[in-house]
Structure 1
Amino acid sequence: MIKSNKPNSNEYTRTINPRFVPRTKTIVFKNGIILNGKGEKTFGDIILKNGLIHAIGQNLSDNEAIVRAQDAINPSGSEIRIIASGGVTTSLGKLDTHAIRVLIFLPGSFNLMGGEGFVIKMRPVDTLSVDDMGINSNIDTEKERAWRWLKMACGENPKGHYGPRKEIPATRLGEAWLFRKYFSKAQTLKQKLSSHEQLNLYFPEDFELESLVALLRGDAKLNIHCHEAYDTETMIRISLEFNFTIAAIHHAISTYMITDIIKKRAKNNITIAMFSELWGHKKEAFHGSTKAPKIFVDAQIPVAFKSDHDILNAQHLAYEAAKAYHYGLDEHHSLAAITSVWDSHPLSLGATPLEVYIDGIPQFNTSLSVLSNETSKQSLSNNTPKSDFSRKPVKPRTTSSAILKNIDKIYVNKNHTISSEEENISIIVKDGIIECIGINCMIPSNISSYEIIDLEGGYVLPGIIAVSPALGLAEIELESSTSDGQVVPIRNPYDAEDMIYAIDGLKLGGKHLESAYKAGVLTAVTAPLSYKAVFTGISMAFKTGARSILDYEPIISENVALHAQIGTQYKDDRIPTVSGQISLIRKALIKNLARQNIFGRVARGDIPLVVYVDSKDEIASLIKLKILVKNYGGNLKLVISGGAEAHMIAIELAKNEIPVILNPSRPTPRLWTAQHVLTGPPITDKTGIDILYENNVKIGIGVSLFTFGSSPYLLGFGTERNLVWDAGWVSRNSKGLISQKDAVGFITWNLEEILGLNMSNGLLKGNIANFVAYNGNPFDISTKVKIVAGGGRSDILIDPEQD
């Protein structure tokens, strides 16, 4: 029966959490730095009692609206514990709309009206009941409103899903018409219900419209998936026509362009639930801006960061806030709604909760000694990321020659680091060539022709190398006109001449390449694109800053490695098993060992074989394959890419000199073949990369390759600019095991060695300048890129700015 859901009183203060578990102990935190929901900082105590924060102070004691996400939630899913370990305490499903505090289970985004969402507390319950995990469980509806949550979508997803099937909506016009059609029906039903209530008559029922009536009555909060600015405007227009409010716009990639419309036309202050900087995989997402969170906040529009777990791992939702902070969002708004006990400032790179409390109950049983020891090490003054928002922005510019002074550290290569502890160190670059590096650099007599750059104690790294899923081959990955296209699978071991070479499809000068270049990613290694082929083709290495293949030596190597991929996600009708995939690789190598084709060259060790694989068992089969090829007289240089479970056979990998390029560097058990992932503290003491390092496996970090359903996205595409943070995260969370220098190697010289790039342009006098300089430690989230030199350009870029 469709009834209104309003409490008798608008004023109600809880004295006990309705989900409170009897006999739960009262917990007192003493002498901590408290970051409240408003982003304000205080020093004092917190008391958790009856499942609530009891006190804070000092010295205390198409129309799928009928479906419901609640019916599909697995309360025993491993992701619940993983997400909670990142400080996420409450969830409304596939995405989270209140930064760290709320995760919302919502239906998908292919339907205009996706259905009803459900909010849960991320605390498993003894009953294994989804209902008991619900945020509305046990509340008194006479005193509190039991909110409902609806999901709708607009733009490319609905029309892209139904259009090819010759169904409505096939256009945005069709989408708007269907919205109006169903809202009109719901409006009519609502009016009938109102009249029947007044006359105390039997309620007319229409289950398909029930949730829409709840929205029109103000009993439900509406979340809408919209990327484009004009789609958002359409939804605001429809909301005004039918008198309902929009709680949140999700994604909102280009909506920062219409802040006035959101602020002035909508009936309420709509929240923008967004990724901090994920962009570029489809046309709707191409115009994203790193400045968007700040633009919304400056317009007084609420911002929340979301994950769409597991597109982004919700365990690291605080990282989304930290990236927004790096790009200009102030600490106050970046911290809003982060609630956990942390081992460091939540916005610092790699910050990890020591313990998470849900309904007043600790979830990870962290010992009191660990909590006391770790928190006592931290201080507010030395732990807060330092960004100077008062400093006026400096416009990017270029110069042909520069003197870099006040450098704290230069990572020259794996064997050599220059530190300011020795003496004052500098770098002098003249017309793209390093004239001097290190101590005792003589100031040129014609100093007026040089721009002098003060790094203020910053670091200098070799140009970062991105092993990327699409750089140079696709600009908007889901728009075929902007992409090289998908490789036709090779299924015959004798078809070596049909192998695709990425170099033949190279396109330079795109937005993704520019973003990578500005971040100091100066070399890209990219293989041909394929969602299903076992052999994807031959990768290339090129300079990201080059604008044309006619520029000075933009290509580093046309034949870097042969790439393959195995796993359940790569099965097809012709090769329907993983064993068949491995069999094809084995036949191609053994049968062509003596031949002068690409398979023969790989079998003899002329170029590496890079295989994307996660499962420990499949990696073990590849180790056996390497041994088999050796027994036949070959010398297979096998490289594991992906490697989510590689740590489980780290000893065997090291023994057989097989390196691993981890991508992502912080994996999740997204597939059955990655179920043994180590997600790190507070769940596991170590991560997979820690174990690989301990066993002397050579490690690289690549750009994440994430496939999604039957129409996969390369969702790592566009995150090349974050590689230095990926490396820093690994060092930060290794508890001293992995040094900062080691971490730098994971994204520079290790990859050069693993892939045999032999670029020979290191940070040495007389070499072509190819480096990135920062105004601080690059593993500090607030540090900015100051200088980019090389990468296919003769000029030096100063103060680059991300779009």
Structure 2
Amino acid sequence: MRFRTLPLLLVSACATVPQAPPPVAPAASPPAATRVWKQARAVVVRHATVMPATGPAIEDGAVAWVDGKLTAVGRSAEVATPPGAEEVDGTGLYVTPGIIDAHSHLGVYATPESFSNSDGNEATAPVTAEVSAEHSFWPQDPGLRRAAAGGVTSLLVLPGSANLVGGRGFPVKLHFGRSAAEVRFPGARDSLKMACGENPRRVYGQDRKMAPSTRMGNVAGYRQAFAQAREYMDKWADWTKKKEKSPDEAGPAPARDLKLETLAEVLRGNILVQNHCYRADEMEVMLQVAQEAGYSIRAFHHALEAYKVRDSLAAKNVAVATWADWWGFKLEAWDGIPENAGLVSQVGGKAVIHSDSAYGIQRLNQEAGKALWRARESGIPLTEEEALRWVTLNAAWVMGVEALTGSLEPGKMADVVLWKGHPLSVYARAQRVWADGVVTFDAASGAVEASDFEVGDMARGSARLVASSAPAPSLADLGLTAACDVSRDAACAALVPVGTQACTAFLGVTAFTGAGWMRDATVVLDGGKVASVKPAGVAAPTGCRTVEGKGRLLTPGLVDPLTQLGLVEVGQESQSQDDGLRGDADRRDVRAALQSADSVNPASAVFPVARLGGVTGAVTVQHGGLVSGQSAYVTTDGTVRRGALAMHVNLGTPGRDAVSGSRALVLERLRELLFDAREYGRRKADFEQRRMRDVAASRLDLEAMQPVLAGTLPVVVVAQRVSDIRAALALAREYGLELVIAGGGEAWMVASELAAAKVPVILQPTQNLPLDFDRLNSRLDAAALLHAAGVKVLISVLGEPAMVRTLAQEAGNAVSWGLPHAEALRAMTSNVAEAFHLPVGRLVPGAVADVVLWTGDPLESSSRPVGMWLGGAQVPLVSRQQALFEKHRVLPAK
């Protein structure tokens, strides 16, 4: 038996804990729903590929349901049509169970993000078991409609993780009701949200100078809370016995305590425990706490180190609800690896892919696909049905409703999704979604009921506008046959051994030149540049190393045009952050002279992880201020290629915060800066002799603005709202600025103006929520709309450096919403190069040889890089995450 960190006294005390008595105090019971969801007509979907989640896919399959219940699942020829049924032709389509999110904050951390909508954490005491997410739930949250469009039919809405015990979770069946009661999952038990680790000790110990301030304080808090609950149960049991024996002498009932009442229901097994916990050692500690108190943990959530103790979790039947590859945002998440879910499944554990995100919930199917392929690449033999269970049946088990939903089996709820494209593909799009047999989303018309927040013209980018584009074509549709068959050709999918030759020739490769695809090409890298790109039959130059390209695709390296890569190591660790100013210095609104290149950490562990996503370079910049400073171009081997790449400016809400004023003050301050910088450029001698009036910035800042005014240094302006974008266009015209818009949530609304001004836009395609009042009109097809109008689109993750590896997934989503495939590739290669005047992004003679060799479509999660060259030199495709996987691939002997 492994050493356990809690003292022997604590562990041995488990044997003396009395059994929980039967309920003596009434548990809080939800009110009856005031609206019934009734299927009006039977439905049968025929000739689809049916993926039931309980077993292999059924080709030419059918699914039928009546009165909200599945009645038949099987081959189409064997499934009878119910009387009066609607027949849906599923030819070429896929059918799965409804997607289930076992960890959501929709409705309690609703959009737009505002004080009014932030109801997810009763952070007023470390233990607030008495509260319930149901009583904060806003059924008009626009995110709920977006989730339905992603195939979601059920979700567990949890309080946040500030507290040791945050309160009750609320099980939801995703209909669009008027109240929480109308969307409560019928018959489902509540959950209890608990959190271990850094969150409670930061919120209470650091911020409020109270307990808990350490992990040992956390554990003491859980133990004390459940000890009090046990005393509360005993008190009620004693009173009940007295009442039964001598009613006149029993006295009044004990005072109800809603906090202890909830914890007592946990001890009785009537409420499921969902435990936020990242570190492996803390999961083991929490298992001991649960054993001492006498309750079971249903699932550890986030659980990025679950793979280290997966045997313990599987033995105790504790599920792991995690992400596919979200990691690095704090030190607790530093050891996250993409094989986590796969390793848990491999030992028989219940793995679940959850979202914890209003964006991630919309593509849980994609996240499951990513986790599946990363596991397979590492030698974990998993099936598609197992990956599907991560977001269906296993998630249902976490909610305690696996007998009711989560798989396509007769008698279960008719929670069904009809997909165009394989459900685990980045290109999959839900065509129709049924919950309890009732349509909640249809690709032809959107969600069946709009959020009240989005009625009328309030948000023209709302979820009802979802049918604007078709799913992406396959490689075959593009005229490309190259793609490694991993199951039949292991050599094609194997990493190319790292070589040191100065000249490399790729033979028979399918190459994306920037202008288009060239099949069976010979591409030669020499002297750090692309030397030649020639059609089939051309021999490699003498002395070059040759790399077999058959079945493989070669592209320019991907470049993220706006990140903090190399400036931030661990998101919440201040000592590892060099992406902004601190203290009094943070009050500076103009920081034009700051050069991000001076802060780049060339040894960052995040660079190798980004390489695993095919990313060879990034535009990296500090944040904050009205003028943030100058970005650098850095490659993912840690090299700063260019130190002064562009000037960065914030309009909208970030600009207002920087100047502590209104948009009018933001523009006044910018005009003053530009005017004074122009005057400084004309009258430097006067400035040096103090014959100029006071100016708007320091000499260094004014000097840094000179190439901006000369039009030789691009200006990247963060602007989301139409009015801010137009203000940026006006400033660019007045001062001759070379403008790039970043963010661009509403840029599609002024696409013609941007096209006329030849201004490119940096987008994160998956951002489609009215996240704030600057982005009310965000929509998933924005990239396609901008491109159609003639605007050059650049694609970015616009955020956490650790997630730069998902850049290609962002592009894949843009393609699924109408952006041409080749243009999506250009949005990460040649379009970025043009916007920032970089000699990369194309496979043409003379271009810098930053290239990636892929097993298949670079935008599809089933593909991966097998070789990368930066400046013609091959770099390894290995990372710390892979070292962690190798260390824990085999469990230690017991």
TM-score between the two structures when normalised by the length of structure 2: 0.75
Q: Distance in 1 between matches of 2:442 and 2:810?
A: 28
2:350 is equivalent to residue 302 of structure 1 = yes
Give the equivalent residue in structure 2 for 1:324.
371
Q: Distance in 1 between matches of 2:203 and 2:57?
A: 47
Contact 2:39 2:436 in 1 (8 A): no
Q: Distance in 2 between matches of 1:78 and 1:160?
A: 31
Superposed CA offset, 1:458-489 (max 9, x none): 21111111224311111112111112152266
2:349 is equivalent to residue 290 of structure 1 = no
Give the equivalent residue in structure 1 for 2:195.
153
Q: Distance in 1 between matches of 2:39 and 2:437?
A: 11
Give the equivalent residue in structure 2 for 1:398.
498
Give the equivalent residue in structure 1 for 2:836.
755
Contact 1:407 1:460 in 2 (8 A): no
* Superposition CA RMSD, Å: 3.2
2:179 to 118, 129, 144: 129
Structure 2 alignment gaps of length 5 or more: 1-22, 82-125, 245-251, 377-381, 393-415, 446-465, 475-480, 682-702, 883-894
Superposed CA offset, 1:75-126 (max 9, x none): 1121111111100111xxxxxxxxxxxx21111101100001101121113x
Q: 1:18 to 1:403 in 2, by over 3 A?
A: farther
Percent identity at matched positions?
A: 25
Superposed CA offset, 1:408-462 (max 9, x none): 521223x4x4522xxx322344675655532343245557xx3x43333221111
| Secondary structure in 2 matching 1:178 | helix
2:272 is equivalent to residue 221 of structure 1 = yes
Return the offset for 1:158: 0.6
Q: Distance in 2 between matches of 1:81 and 1:428?
A: 50
Give the equivalent residue in structure 1 for 2:565.
471
Q: 1:18 to 1:455 in 2, by over 3 A?
A: farther
Give the equivalent residue in structure 2 for 1:12.
none
Give the equivalent residue in structure 2 for 1:744.
825
Superposed CA offset, 1:517-566 (max 9, x none): 23331112111133xx22211101122214xxxxxxx3321111111223
Q: 1:648 to 1:244 in 2, by over 3 A?
A: same
2:795 to 701, 724, 728: 701
2:786 is equivalent to residue 663 of structure 1 = no
* 2:601 aligned partner, one-letter code: K
Q: Distance in 2 between matches of 1:374 and 1:473?
A: 38
Give the equivalent residue in structure 2 for 1:720.
804
2:80 is equivalent to residue 60 of structure 1 = yes
| Secondary structure in 1 matching 2:286 | helix
Give the equivalent residue in structure 2 for 1:543.
635
Q: Distance in 1 between matches of 2:163 and 2:674?
A: 47
Give the equivalent residue in structure 2 for 1:212.
263
| Secondary structure in 2 matching 1:542 | strand
Return the offset for 1:386: 6.5
Q: Distance in 1 between matches of 2:322 and 2:284?
A: 17
Give the equivalent residue in structure 2 for 1:170.
213
| Secondary structure in 1 matching 2:550 | strand
Contact 1:464 1:522 in 2 (8 A): yes
Q: Distance in 2 between matches of 1:580 and 1:625?
A: 14
Give the equivalent residue in structure 2 for 1:388.
487
Return the offset for 1:345: 0.8
2:42 is equivalent to residue 26 of structure 1 = yes
Q: Distance in 1 between matches of 2:841 and 2:534?
A: 16
Contact 2:620 2:632 in 1 (8 A): yes
| Secondary structure in 2 matching 1:453 | strand
Q: Which moved more, 1:637-646 or 1:55-64?
A: 55-64
Give the equivalent residue in structure 1 for 2:689.
none
Give the equivalent residue in structure 1 for 2:817.
733
Give the equivalent residue in structure 1 for 2:853.
773
Give the equivalent residue in structure 1 for 2:408.
none
2:417 to 335, 340, 363: 340
Q: 1:217 to 1:387 in 2, by over 3 A?
A: farther
* 1:180 aligned partner, one-letter code: R
Give the equivalent residue in structure 1 for 2:135.
71
Return the offset for 1:570: 5.4
Q: Distance in 2 between matches of 1:512 and 1:786?
A: 19
| Secondary structure in 2 matching 1:592 | helix
Give the equivalent residue in structure 2 for 1:112.
164
Q: Distance in 1 between matches of 2:543 and 2:507?
A: 20
Q: 1:122 to 1:770 in 2, by over 3 A?
A: same
* 2:156 aligned partner, one-letter code: I
Q: 1:570 to 1:262 in 2, by over 3 A?
A: farther
Superposed CA offset, 1:484-503 (max 9, x none): 1522668788x66x732101
Q: 1:635 to 1:434 in 2, by over 3 A?
A: closer
* 2:837 aligned partner, one-letter code: G
Return the offset for 1:33: 1.2
Return the offset for 1:313: 2.9
Contact 2:741 2:762 in 1 (8 A): yes
Give the equivalent residue in structure 1 for 2:665.
580
* 1:174 aligned partner, one-letter code: G
| Secondary structure in 2 matching 1:690 | helix
2:726 is equivalent to residue 620 of structure 1 = yes
2:618 to 524, 533, 553: 524
Q: Distance in 1 between matches of 2:845 and 2:365?
A: 41
Q: Distance in 2 between matches of 1:725 and 1:570?
A: 30
* 2:764 aligned partner, one-letter code: N
Give the equivalent residue in structure 2 for 1:602.
708
| Secondary structure in 1 matching 2:873 | strand
Aligned residues: 715
Give the equivalent residue in structure 1 for 2:873.
794
Q: Distance in 2 between matches of 1:171 and 1:200?
A: 43
Contact 1:281 1:476 in 2 (8 A): yes
Q: Distance in 2 between matches of 1:475 and 1:6?
A: 45
| Secondary structure in 2 matching 1:174 | helix
Q: Distance in 2 between matches of 1:362 and 1:176?
A: 46
Contact 2:34 2:182 in 1 (8 A): no
Q: 1:396 to 1:64 in 2, by over 3 A?
A: farther
Structure 1 alignment gaps of length 5 or more: 8-16, 91-102, 140-145, 547-553, 680-686, 706-715
